Amino acid sequence: MTKTHPRILALFDVDDTLTAARKVVTPEVTARIAKLKNQITVGVVGGSDLVKQKEQLGEDVIHTFDYSFSENGLVGYHNGECINKTSLKEYVGNDKLNKFINFTLLYIANLDIPIKRGTFIEFRQGMLNVSPIGRNCSQDERDDFEQYDHIHQVRAKMVNVLRAQFADYDFTYSIGGQGGNDYEIFVHDRTIGHAVKSPEDTLRLLDTLFP
């Protein structure tokens, strides 16, 4: 079927946009995307790998969307065909990565914060996901740290230190949550960013923009 407006691209985040955070997409959202795909070009972009994207959006995600970008765009598919695949390690080099990771782990080790668990750095194709308390924490612990961090600015201070220490690295730093790793796309002068808080918000916005 020929799209009505093929040059219009709607690019979606995953968590809290197409799905609830870390949850699976609902049939309602899948059906709405299929309808939208008849009108315009649709794409999805996320920081997780393609395996995780498939877990949340379905095994056929590279066909459900015209464009599918995982690992912050370093792995890209168009109409089910791989069009790009690279990695942070190839771009930066192993020596620089080791220096950054070693420094960050030492910084976290010296942090005086209420709890620490495990998996403080998760290496992905397109990013390093750094967690001061560790990604093995429970959801309750994550929520508690969010409140603690709001007061003590642990992550913001760490980002400032990393920016200064590795000023010669071509890295972009984003703090998770609002203004996360999709923020650069959201504010780009070639896009019109729309803020939503849930899949339900997304459906309402789509009904307004593309009835």
Q: Is residue 58 part of a domain?
A: yes
CATH of the domain at 97: 3.30.1240.20
Q: What percent of the chain has pLDDT over 70?
A: 98
| Dist CA 28 CA 72 (whole Å) | 26
Instruction: Encode pLDDT of 39-87 as tens digits.
Output: 999 999 988 889 999 999 999 999 999 999 998 888 999 999 999 998 8
> In terms of domains, do 93 and 58 share one?
no
> In terms of domains, do 93 and 160 share one?
yes
Q: Specify the DSSP class assigned to residue 77.
A: E
Q: Is residue 130 part of a domain?
A: yes
Instruction: Encode pLDDT of 131-177 as tens digits.
Output: 999 999 998 999 999 999 999 999 999 999 999 999 999 898 888 75
Is pLDDT above 70 for 183?
yes
Is residue 190 marked as binding? Answer: no
Q: Is residue 173 part of a domain?
A: no
| Dist CA 138 CA 70 (whole Å) | 25
CATH of the domain at 30: 3.40.50.1000
Q: Is residue 171 part of a domain?
A: no
Is residue 22 marked as binding? Answer: yes
* Residue written as token pair 């918000």: 201
Is pLDDT above 50 for 2?
yes
Q: Is residue 188 part of a domain?
A: yes
| Dist CA 153 CA 55 (whole Å) | 33
Say if CB 107 and CB 79 are below 8 A apart. no
> In terms of domains, do 16 and 40 share one?
yes
Q: Is residue 94 part of a domain?
A: yes
Contacts of 186 (CB under 8 A, 6+ apart): 193, 195
Phi-psi region of 24 (alpha: psi -120 to 50; beta: other; left: phi over 0): beta
What's the whole-number mean pLDDT along residues 179-200? Answer: 84
Structure tokens at 206: 């789509």
Is residue 142 marked as binding? Answer: yes
Domain limits at 56? 5-85+182-209
The model's pTM is: 0.73
> In terms of domains, do 200 and 146 share one?
no
Is residue 32 marked as binding? Answer: no
Query: Residue 27 is inside which H or E element, if any?
Result: helix 27-37
* Residue written as token pair 């315009």: 40
> In terms of domains, do 155 and 187 share one?
no
Is-catalytic flag, 49?
A: no
> In terms of domains, do 104 and 132 share one?
yes
Q: Is residue 170 part of a domain?
A: no
> In terms of domains, do 142 and 102 share one?
yes
> In terms of domains, do 122 and 193 share one?
no
Is residue 155 marked as binding? Answer: no
What's the whole-number mean pLDDT along residues 99-110? Answer: 98
Say if CB 111 and CB 145 are below 8 A apart. no
> In terms of domains, do 101 and 161 share one?
yes
Other CB atoms within 10 A of residue 199 CB: 20
| Dist CA 61 CA 80 (whole Å) | 8
- Say how many domains are in the chain: 2
Q: Is residue 177 part of a domain?
A: no
Is residue 143 marked as binding? Answer: no
Using DSSP, state whether 55 is helix, strand or coil: helix
Is-catalytic flag, 144?
A: no
